[in-house]
Amino acid sequence: MSPSGTPCVILLAGPTASGKTALAVELAHRLGARADGDHPARTLPLGGKPPVGAEIISADSMQIYRGCPIGTAQPSPEELRGVPCHLVGCIEPDQPWSVADWLRAARSLIDEIHARGRAALIAGGTGLYFKAFTGGLFDAEGAGRHPELRRRLEAFWEADGGAALRRRLEEVDPDAARRIYRNDRVRTVRALEVFDVTGRPMSVWQAEGRARHRPVPAYRFVLSPPRRELYRRIDARVEEMMRKDLAEEVRELARRGAREDWPAMRALGYATMLRLLRGELTRDQAVEETQRLSRRYAKQQLVLLRKWPGAVWLDGGADIAKIAADVEILLEFPPPTGF
C-alpha cells in the first residue's frame, strides 16, 4: 500500500509486438504463485497483503472492438492461460471509444479487481491511455465534441496529407503542435476540433485537467526490445495475421456494413486489406504495406512513451520469465509519485 493508503496499479506499456501480453500473463501467474506459497512471501504495496494473482486490463484502443481478433492481436484463451483480461472485444466496431471512455472503465475495473484481492495489471500499447491515467485528462465531452466539424477536418487532412491542418495547429496551439507527432491525424484533428468548438487551445484544457488530477500510485514499466528484434517480430506478426486470414476478417466486417470511417477500421492493416479485397494490391504488396505501417506505428509509440515520466524501461529482448522475475523485485519498492 502506498503512503496515502491507496492500492497501487501495475502499468505495462510498450510498442506493438514487444511481448506485453506474454509478460503480463507471466507476471499474473507469478503473483498468484507467490500468494499460494510457491515463492517467498514479500511485501507488495497493493493493499496491505500480497495479492492473490492479478487481472489484466487492456490499454489498447483497437482491441476493444468485437469481430477484430486477428487484426488487433486480441489475446487468445491459450495466451492468457486462465488470467482474466478486460476491455477486449466488448463493443461494436462502429462505436466510438475515447481516452475518456477507457479511463472511466479502467478506474471502475481497478476498484472491482482490488476488491477481489487481486492486483490490477494494465497492459497495452496506447500511450495516451497511460499518460491520461498517470497525468490526468481533459474530458471534452459535450462542448468539446462536434462530429460534423471533425469529419470536415478529416477531409481537409486527406486533401493534402495534413499539411494545412498542421500549419493551423502551430498557429492556434503551438504547445500541442510540439507534442503531437506530425503524421498523427487523429490527435491533430482532435486538437483543432477542441479549439474551434471551445475557443481555447487543447493544451490549456489539458493543463487544467492535470492540475485537478489526483494521481493513483502506479508502477510504470515499458517493455522495449532492441529495434531490429522488434521489427523482426512485427514482420512475423503480420505474416501470422495473414495466415490466420486477416483479409477474411475484414471481408466479414464489410459484409456487416463496415465503412472506412468506422472506428474499428482505423486498426493497422484494415484499410490495406480493403484495398487487397478490391484488387488494388497483391497479397505481397498488402503484407509489405502493413508491415511498414506497423513499424512506423511502433516508432511513434516509442517516441510518446519516452516522454512518460517515472517509467522503468525493460529489456524486451530477454526471456519473459527473467523479465517477470526482475519486475517482481522492483515491485518490492514504492511506486513513483509526484508525476
Q: Percentage of the chain surpassing pLDDT 90? A: 63
**pLDDT confidence of residue 212:** 67
All CATH 3.40.50.300 domain ranges of the chain, comma separated, are 9-136+216-226+309-330
**pLDDT confidence of residue 5:** 42
Give me the architecture of the 228-301 domain, per CATH. Orthogonal Bundle (1.10)
**pLDDT confidence of residue 46:** 43
Band (pLDDT 50/70/90 cuts) for residue 36 is very low
Quick: pLDDT tens for 283-331.
999 999 999 999 999 999 999 899 888 899 999 999 999 999 999 999 8
Listed range (17-26, 140-149, 227-236) with the worst mean pLDDT: 140-149
All CATH 1.10.287.890 domain ranges of the chain, comma separated, are 228-301
All CATH 1.10.20.140 domain ranges of the chain, comma separated, are 142-208
Which has more pLDDT, 246 or 209? 246
Residue 262 has pLDDT above 70, yes or no: yes
**pLDDT confidence of residue 245:** 96
Band (pLDDT 50/70/90 cuts) for residue 333 is confident
Q: Percentage of the chain surpassing pLDDT 70? A: 87
Mean pLDDT of the chain: 87
Quick: pLDDT tens for 140-166.
444 567 888 888 999 989 888 889 999
Which has more pLDDT, 45 or 220? 220
**Region 175-195 average pLDDT:** 88
**pLDDT confidence of residue 185:** 87
The closest of 183, 203, 182, 196 to 150, measured between CA atoms, is 196
Band (pLDDT 50/70/90 cuts) for residue 182 is confident
| Claim: this prediction has a pTM higher than 0.95 | no
Assigned CATH topology for domain 9-136+216-226+309-330: Rossmann fold (3.40.50)
Residue 4 has pLDDT above 50, yes or no: no
State phi, psi for 67 to the nearest 5 degrees: 80, 10
Q: Say if residues 297 and 268 touch (Cβ distance below 8 Å).
A: yes
- 303/318 Cα distance (integer angstroms): 22
- 93/89 Cα distance (integer angstroms): 9
**pLDDT confidence of residue 180:** 87
**Region 173-177 average pLDDT:** 91
**pLDDT confidence of residue 44:** 46
Residue 37 has pLDDT above 50, yes or no: no
Assigned CATH topology for domain 142-208: Histone, subunit A (1.10.20)
**pLDDT confidence of residue 337:** 63
